[in-house]
Structure 1
Amino acid sequence: MAYPYQIKSLEDYQQQYQQSVIDPEGFWANVADHFYWRRKWDKVLDWNFKDPDVKWFTGGKLNITENCLDRHLGTLGNTPAIIWEPNDPEERHRVITYRDLYNKVCQFANVLKNNGVKKGDRVCIYMGMIPELAIAVLACARIGAIHSVVFGGFSAQSIADRIQDAQASLVITCDGAFRGNKDIPLKSVIDDALIGCPSVKKVIVCTRTRTPVSMIKGRDLWWEDEIKQVETMGNPPCPAEEMDAEDMLFILYTSGSTGKPKGVVHTVGGYMVYANYTFVNTFQYQPGEVYFCTADVGWITGHSYIIYGPLSAGATTLMFEGVPTYPDAGRLWSIVDKFRVNILYTAPTAIRSLMGYGLGPVNHKDLSSLRKLGSVGEPINEEAWHWFKDHIGKGRCPIVDTWWQTETGGIMITPIAGITKEKPGYATLPLPGIQPILVDETGKEVTGNNVNGNLCIKFPWPGMLRTTYGDHERCRTTYFATYENLYFTGDGCLRDEDGYYRITGRVDDVLNVSGHRIGTAEVENAINMHAGVVESAVVGYPHDIKGQGIYAYVITERQTHDPELTKKDILQTVSRIIGPIAKPDKIQFVSGLPKTRSGKIMRRILRKIAEGELDNLGDISTLLDPVVVEEIKRGRL
């Protein structure tokens, strides 16, 4: 077996799990021993959840790219590292071997160095799903620069907020991106974003769509020209920067319950060990398998399970530029057929959307290569689970319904493919090293089975966030202050008679739309920027495709003569400020919002109305004006 720490059976899982709880340091030291370290650690773990202060593999020295690239060259140099499938099925795909990838990463790392990027500098990456995105990420890691990847659907304002927060000195982007039948003008969005970002000195632009772009002298450079300069120097190798295990690897911004996105920080050593361990075990990865994760690298799933997890395991990872429904709803199945994909990891939103097209697009596609299926981003509903299992896995592929977060760095609670007994809708059991606990509102542990509570984790794991960039207090108050000595996930959870965990949804003011977390405050702030809006309140409601939709209650300055046009204006404003991903699905104009006498909006009431539970609103006697509730109920969309 290629991975000595790979779980082999249910008994082995139980044994590893027990060991990881009794002796966590010994357990993780044993896993970490299988990586290349320039210098071994002095201490495996140092921690408290009060500050919080968590350190793994203290004193250890390494570079994550040596573990993803260099150490594979002798045995896997000619093996495909990345298979890239373009948006347009008529365009040629690309296969990049481990040796190719190593050379390209060294090349671009030298480009970054030529442009003044040093260890510790922050680099913002805003690109489409092309191999150069993975190359840019790994090149940053190679020289010790901290990458901050921003999803290609965010607006100029959202990018500016992230660049300013990280004080990024360089941006890597493309002229544009192809996504389904759309061309996304990435460079012009960056140009708008940089108007208020003096920290950015250089912008490197990779050619993809051949969209005309503005190139500012002294600031903007073409990727291809910069590569040519390195080639004229004879393509020198780029030695990997020695990093401390606790040095920052990347910042990834995630929505919070306040308007400002949080920069979640992951560090080199612990994150590497955890991303690899969870990849190899959850998917029961076997050498030579073709693994296809449909996520975007702009999200944590792309970081952990397209780039770092698979590459550190010497896997073949498939990157797809397009969307599941372009040019038709059979695209994912065509890719599985074309590349003989063995493992498919996708989102419930994608599955539900494809279910709507019936079995026509699935028929006549050869899916016999599939061995394992996975789902990520939100709990998968039973109907979608069965459709995925029966029609895509043909009843023979295990499904891993994985629960985890940007902050956890990797998968936390999941079936292990082919080992854990599955139960539709359940994330089932924690991986070794993960100690979940359910608590009530007061923080008291809810013990036993057949119980509900708020999901917390009571012991550190290597992949966990270390801080929120530039604001450690925010990290403490968001994740560690709600319940003493516990990491609070923000999710509600049920534990059934088998001890299996089922995530029941967010218990804070964060929405989960198509597997992406969006803060209600963030959307409200954007709506309130619209000239005619006085105030708004946003809640989630059940949505057939997205899982959760966004329902906005909006008070305008005066009665609107053309409500439909005003709604379109508001949607345009939200798109401009955050990005299309945050556009409300429903906007209801109201004259007032249900508030307590202290002025707090009672979202619980608004949520129930949005969900259609009109007769079960609970006690509304504490409201300043209970009459407003009747008006909102009557106007429900």
Structure 2
Amino acid sequence: MSYSYQIGSLEQYHEAYRKSVEDPEGFWAEIARTFTWKKPWDKVLEWNFKEPNVKWFIGGQLNITENCLDRHLESKADQPAIIWESNDPNEHHRVLTYRRLHFKVCQFAWVLKNNGVKKGDRVCIYMGMVPELAIAVLACARIGAIHSVIFGGFSAQSIADRLQDAKAEYIITCDGAYRGNKTIPLKPVIDDALVTCPFVKTVIVHTRTRTPVSMIKGRDLWWEDEINRVETQGNPDFPAETMDAEDPLFILYTSGSTGKPKGVVHSSAGYMIYTNYSFVNVFQNKPGDVHFCTADIGWITGHSYIVYGPLSAGATSLMFEGIPTFPDAGRFWAIVDKYKVNILYTAPTAIRSLMVFGTDFVTPYKLDSLRVLGTVGEPINEEAWHWYDEQIGKKRCPIVDTWWQTETGGILISNLAGVTPAIPAHATLPLPGVQPVLVDENGKEVKGNGVSGNLCIKFPWPSIIRTTYGDHERCRTTYFATYENMYFTGDGALRDEKGNYRITGRVDDVLNVSGHRIGTAEVENAINMHYGVVESAVVGYPHEIKGQGIYAYVIYSGKREDEELIRKDISATVSRIIGPIAKPDKIQFVTGLPKTRSGKIMRRILRKIAEGELQNLGDTTTLLDPAVVEEIKTGKQ
């Protein structure tokens, strides 16, 4: 397959960008025509950012799996669609060709149908990084059910919150998962979550670790038994459900600045078109390339650039079950050589953690198949960028520094590999079709170059968030109410003299830890549930591996004879309520928090102290008790 909309030169980039701004509907219609539609659209776009209400390809009908699978069967049936590398390097890898993946997805779509799943139902998926996770995702999409994948590191409470919000009556899970030298129980965590979710009808369990699990009659089913049942029916083809362009494809929960996670909803057509377009252009994918995205499918990166982007483009997507340091810190590089990987897409956190081990784990590998490197999840610092460029790319692979969010569905700002210039630690230029602006605190646009401000987007792109599940008002207030007629990203940015963007980080109460967004309010709520905690305040601080660490200031009412044990207890509470990913890196016990007279915590002060800035704390005269600041400074961790 050749991509007629793949930009091949800087001149083409500028021309495409000009067209996308002058005639956005014509620009996207031309790209959309290259896909398989059951019925063409009547109108390309309707939008306003007030309500908000965004609709793309109105009246069009399609199914994303026909575009990810069926349309490749004629020319790519025997090409690998997914290559799976196990956590254990000695375990045999698996290759699913497009023909085999199509067969497996149809098979599991029948399993879902046999168990009463129908179009519009919500299906929660909580699995390890096994091919069956991708199969389950695609089978949901084929049947028209809305999938909600939950990362395998979240706790029972976090799962229950998401199940209740989505009113998901069906769950797909594994007995357990392998992660490095650990076996993670998954089904037992689901069992704990279901204590408060009696509405769940069916749990389908895939066998991976052979961990003993409890199987409840009438509710729990083995994946393998259900597949056998379909095989006895003769494995008929499963015709893809007709989906309206604006029908929801999936819900993915993300942390916000309030305690409750919000379910970001993406549409069927717009999401598909944008993930495909961004994949093909940012990574400059070529037929036959092996694309290795190291993310987990539980995050948006895995949705867009392991499953939907590569498969809709007819590419080969490599899926890895393990971690970069097991059995040693050369695992990524071993995988690159083993499968002749052409495109490697990973997180700055992973790069920084591997830098610590030095180059001894890099030098045994050739890495000569690599053509493009990419980073995702957070801004990459210059030191890590240069190490990645020199040690992994051997100074011959462009690095795409991609900026985007769960809510954007795909990459919005990035250099295009080898086409537009790369600048260390800069996301650089917006993709054609994306119109970023910088605004000041009052929402006034900051024009020109060599400026900074809050990053907003002033025109919709096809994969923009449609709503937050079951609570459209929350979508409006979070993303569209801060600045009039704009989508507010929550990030700050600099725009240099040539118009290149550099993302400076969050400007709201959300942390970016190892590339994953965690709301401060969510962590505070979890800490405050610990017996003895009166109140807490959480801020981010620079962390040499994670990018941002979590620093918690805690007012504790009980005895503090063994402070280290209390810290461990508080961390265990957070881990139990949210998951290990949200555990504080530092906990400082304080007698009070810096509050204004109206009771608002001045996080600016706490952030500066956590960052080690103890002198220039700004105006503290509005504080109820300025003395508390001195005490916090003295006790800094």
- TM over 0.5, shorter chain: yes
SS in 2 for 1:173: strand
- Structure-2 separation of matches of 1:590 and 1:496: 41
- Structure-2 separation of matches of 1:567 and 1:364: 41
- Structure-2 separation of matches of 1:366 and 1:95: 23
Identity, % of aligned positions: 78
Task: Tell me by how many angstroms 1:181 deviates.
Answer: 1.0
For each residue in 1:203-225, what CA deviation from the matched residue of structure 2 results, as whole angstroms up to 9, or x when unmatched? 00000000000000000000000
Q: For residue 301 of structure 2, what is the aligned residue in structure 1?
A: 301
SS in 1 for 2:368: coil
Task: Tell me by how many angstroms 1:366 deviates.
Answer: 1.5
**1:496-575 matches, cutoff 5 A:** 496-575=496-575
- Structure-1 separation of matches of 2:116 and 2:616: 61
Q: For residue 314 of structure 1, what is the aligned residue in structure 2?
A: 314
Query: Is 1:288 aligned with 2:288?
Result: yes
Task: Tell me by how many angstroms 1:558 deviates.
Answer: 3.2
- Structure-1 separation of matches of 2:565 and 2:375: 38
Q: For residue 192 of structure 2, what is the aligned residue in structure 1?
A: 192
Q: For residue 483 of structure 1, what is the aligned residue in structure 2?
A: 483
SS in 1 for 2:503: strand
Task: Tell me by how many angstroms 1:199 deviates.
Answer: 2.1
Q: For residue 387 of structure 1, what is the aligned residue in structure 2?
A: 387
What is the letter of the counterpart of residue 189 of structure 1? Answer: V
- Structure-2 separation of matches of 1:573 and 1:196: 19
Query: Is 1:257 aligned with 2:257?
Result: yes
Q: For residue 118 of structure 1, what is the aligned residue in structure 2?
A: 118
Task: Tell me by how many angstroms 1:384 deviates.
Answer: 0.3
Task: Tell me by how many angstroms 1:421 deviates.
Answer: 1.1
Q: For residue 234 of structure 1, what is the aligned residue in structure 2?
A: 234
- Structure-1 separation of matches of 2:631 and 2:8: 59
- Structure-2 separation of matches of 1:199 and 1:29: 42
SS in 2 for 1:362: coil
Q: For residue 602 of structure 2, what is the aligned residue in structure 1?
A: 602
Q: For residue 397 of structure 1, what is the aligned residue in structure 2?
A: 397
Q: For residue 48 of structure 1, what is the aligned residue in structure 2?
A: 48
Q: For residue 371 of structure 1, what is the aligned residue in structure 2?
A: 371
For each residue in 1:213-249, what CA deviation from the matched residue of structure 2 results, as whole angstroms up to 9, or x when unmatched? 0000000000000000000000011000000000000
SS in 1 for 2:367: coil
- Structure-1 separation of matches of 2:454 and 2:519: 19
Q: For residue 417 of structure 2, what is the aligned residue in structure 1?
A: 417
SS in 1 for 2:183: strand
For each residue in 1:346-398, what CA deviation from the matched residue of structure 2 results, as whole angstroms up to 9, or x when unmatched? 00000000000000000111200000000000000000000000000000000
What is the letter of the counterpart of residue 486 of structure 1? Answer: M
Task: Tell me by how many angstroms 1:182 deviates.
Answer: 1.0
SS in 2 for 1:571: helix
- Structure-2 separation of matches of 1:247 and 1:376: 28
Q: For residue 27 of structure 2, what is the aligned residue in structure 1?
A: 27
For each residue in 1:232-291, what CA deviation from the matched residue of structure 2 results, as whole angstroms up to 9, or x when unmatched? 000011000000000000000000000000000001000000000000000000000000
SS in 2 for 1:295: coil
- Structure-1 separation of matches of 2:366 and 2:433: 38
Query: Is 1:91 aligned with 2:91?
Result: yes
SS in 1 for 2:41: coil
- Structure-1 separation of matches of 2:635 and 2:319: 45
Q: For residue 201 of structure 1, what is the aligned residue in structure 2?
A: 201
- Structure-2 separation of matches of 1:337 and 1:84: 15
SS in 1 for 2:478: helix
- Structure-2 separation of matches of 1:281 and 1:636: 47
- Structure-2 separation of matches of 1:423 and 1:393: 15
- Structure-1 separation of matches of 2:421 and 2:493: 19
**1:31-180 matches, cutoff 5 A:** 31-180=31-180
SS in 1 for 2:84: strand
- Structure-2 separation of matches of 1:454 and 1:484: 13
For each residue in 1:156-205, what CA deviation from the matched residue of structure 2 results, as whole angstroms up to 9, or x when unmatched? 00000000000001000000000111111000000000111122100000
What is the letter of the counterpart of residue 508 of structure 2? Answer: D
Q: Give unmatched runs, 5+ long, in structure 2.
A: none
What is the letter of the counterpart of residue 53 of structure 2? Answer: D
Q: For residue 325 of structure 1, what is the aligned residue in structure 2?
A: 325
SS in 2 for 1:56: strand
Q: Give unmatched runs, 5+ long, in structure 1.
A: none
- Write out the 4+ residue segments of structure 1 that deviate beyond 4 Å after TM superposition: none
Task: Tell me by how many angstroms 1:131 deviates.
Answer: 0.2
What is the letter of the counterpart of residue 172 of structure 1? Answer: I
Query: Is 1:493 aligned with 2:493?
Result: yes
- Structure-1 separation of matches of 2:437 and 2:143: 39
- Structure-1 separation of matches of 2:97 and 2:509: 44
- Structure-2 separation of matches of 1:174 and 1:259: 28
**TM-score of the superposition, structure 2-length normalised?**
1.00
Task: Tell me by how many angstroms 1:420 deviates.
Answer: 1.0
Task: Tell me by how many angstroms 1:309 deviates.
Answer: 0.2
- Structure-1 separation of matches of 2:91 and 2:563: 44
For each residue in 1:531-581, what CA deviation from the matched residue of structure 2 results, as whole angstroms up to 9, or x when unmatched? 110000000000000000000000001341110110010000000000000
- Structure-2 separation of matches of 1:313 and 1:242: 21
Task: Tell me by how many angstroms 1:432 deviates.
Answer: 0.5
What is the letter of the counterpart of residue 494 of structure 2? Answer: L
What is the letter of the counterpart of residue 179 of structure 1? Answer: R
Query: Is 1:586 aligned with 2:586?
Result: yes
For each residue in 1:24-61, what CA deviation from the matched residue of structure 2 results, as whole angstroms up to 9, or x when unmatched? 00000000000000100000000000000000000000
SS in 1 for 2:569: helix
- Structure-2 separation of matches of 1:59 and 1:260: 34
What is the letter of the counterpart of residue 587 of structure 2? Answer: I
What is the letter of the counterpart of residue 260 of structure 1? Answer: K
**1:444-483 matches, cutoff 5 A:** 444-483=444-483
- Structure-1 separation of matches of 2:423 and 2:282: 16
Indicate the RMSD between aligned Cα atoms, in angstroms. Answer: 0.5
For each residue in 1:56-104, what CA deviation from the matched residue of structure 2 results, as whole angstroms up to 9, or x when unmatched? 0000000000000000000000000000000000100001000000000
- Structure-2 separation of matches of 1:295 and 1:378: 13
- Structure-1 separation of matches of 2:558 and 2:570: 15
What is the letter of the counterpart of residue 467 of structure 2? Answer: T
For each residue in 1:316-339, what CA deviation from the matched residue of structure 2 results, as whole angstroms up to 9, or x when unmatched? 000000000001000000000100
- Structure-2 separation of matches of 1:569 and 1:399: 42
Query: Is 1:243 aligned with 2:243?
Result: yes
SS in 1 for 2:492: strand
- Structure-2 separation of matches of 1:159 and 1:328: 32
